[in-house]
Amino acid sequence: MVINKLTLKQARVLANLTQDQASEKLGISRGTLIAWEKGYRTPNSKMIPLITETYGIPYDMIMFLEKEDD
């Protein structure tokens, strides 16, 4: 069975959280969350456990996007 990973945005939506709700629970600004979801920035290693707990999804099921430089 093939299991696809979820983007950070998909994980948030699956957890039934808005960007405002998720950023509040994670203790970050909405702008930071948007940057993570779009791949402009990536969360640091200290945030990963909080993200997985908040979204209820294991780390290995989340795909963190990385925006390539133009």
pLDDT recorded at residue 64: 85
pLDDT tier for residue 68 given thresholds of 50, 70 and 90: low
pLDDT of residue 46: 94
Q: What angle do CA 40, 41, 43 make, to 5 degrees?
A: 150
CA 66 to chain centroid, in Å, comes to: 12
Average pLDDT taken over every residue of the chain: 91
Q: What is the length of the chain? A: 70
Look at residue 69 in the predicted model and tell me its pLDDT. 57
pLDDT tens digits, one per residue of 28-52? 999 999 999 999 999 999 999 999 9
Enter the tokens of residue 52. 């997985």
Q: Which pLDDT value is given to residue 65?
A: 78
Please report, as a single letter, which amino acid is at residue 15.
Answer: A
Helices (H), 6-69: 8-14, 19-26, 30-38, 48-55
CATH of span 6-63: 1.10.260.40
